Amino acid sequence: MNQYTLAGAAVFAAALAAFAFTRTPAPTAPTEPNATPADGAAMVTVTLPDTLSPEATMGKRAFNAVCADCHGENAAGRMGIAPPLIHKIYEPSHHGDMAFQMAAANGVRAHHWKFGDMPPQPDVTRADVISIIAYIREVQRANGIN
Q: What is the pLDDT of residues 99-133, one digit of tens each?
A: 999 999 999 999 989 999 999 999 999 999 999 99
Integer CA distances (angstroms), 101 to 5, 90, 122, 135, 140, in order: 87, 13, 11, 14, 17
The CA distance from 59 to 57, in Å, is: 5
Q: Has residue 10 been placed in a domain? A: no
**Is-contact 86 96, C-beta < 8 A?**
no
Q: Has residue 63 been placed in a domain? A: yes
Q: Has residue 19 been placed in a domain? A: no
Domain that residue 120 falls in: 54-142
Count of structural domains, the chain = 1
Q: What is the pLDDT of residues 11-40, one digit of tens each?
A: 454 444 444 444 444 444 444 445 677 999
Q: Has residue 2 been placed in a domain? A: no
What is the Cα gyration radius of the chain?
28
The answer to whether the predicted template modeling score (pTM) of the entire model surpasses 0.85 is no
Q: Is the pLDDT of residue 94 over 90?
A: yes
Q: Has residue 127 been placed in a domain? A: yes
Confidence of residue 79 (pLDDT cuts 50, 70, 90): very high
